[in-house]
Amino acid sequence: MFFCYICAIIKRKIGMLLHHKLRDYNVLLGSASPRRRELLAATGIEFRLAPKFECEESYPSTLPAEDVAPYLSALKSHAYPYDLAHNDLLITADTVVILGGDVLGKPRNEEEARTMLSRLSGNDHFVVTGVTLRMRGSERTFSSRSRVRFAELSTEQIDYYVEKYRPMDKAGAYGIQEWIGYVGIESLDGSFYNVMGLPVQRLCRELEAFVEAWPECNMR
């Protein structure tokens, strides 16, 4: 009887839009990034910002570059200091830029931002975003990768961007949606939104699978 009830719930949700499927969940975004807030809101999913919490974003030096972002997203998820209620669904994420095997995080100052942009100038690099979905008793982490190529950037362009946009809160010292993206990005292979900090199409697909595997919160 209980099994039949579960099947009925799943069947009822087939064909529903994702933001309708999530209406019984308390979706929490564990990120201070305004770009991630904007992108998640654009999907139509109702969510709240998780209470601010601290997380030391460090990783083992032996960790492969492609694994850093998903490692850090999971680290952030488990740094969340509050117990999750039965219908809480916590989303955390981290984005890194990879150039020649080196992980470029957020620059600590303007000089470091200029150095990063000088290294990216005229080269291909990868942007990897890791995302962790967690409920009480269940967790899923995935990552998305985009390949980006910068045209040659002049010293004047780099100085102008760093001084005007102050990209110290951005991995690799740039935001693709800002001036530098318009004048400097030569090509992109992969998700544009992934480069912004949240691969929303992949996130929606992963959320679909995640909530279908855990329908019981809809029975409360």
As annotated, the active-site residues are 94
Tokens in use for 96?
């890194």
| Alpha-carbon separation of residue 131 from 44, 69, 166, 182 (angstroms) | 18, 8, 25, 26
Question: Where do we find the tokens 């100038």?
Answer: 121
- Please list the helix, strand and coil fractions of the chain in percent, rounded to the nearest 5, in that order: 45, 25, 35
CA dihedral for 44, 45, 46, 51, sign (positive or negative) = negative
SS (H, E, C) 24-46: CCEEEECCCCHHHHHHHHHCCCC
Which among 143, 141, 148 is positioned nearest to 189, based on CA atoms? 148
Task: Say how far apart CA 53 and CA 80 lie, in whole Å.
Answer: 6
How far, in Å, CA of 203 to CA of 87, rounded?
Answer: 18
Measure the CA angle with vertex 204, ends 48 and 214; round to 5°.
80
Residues facing residue 26 across a β-bridge = 88
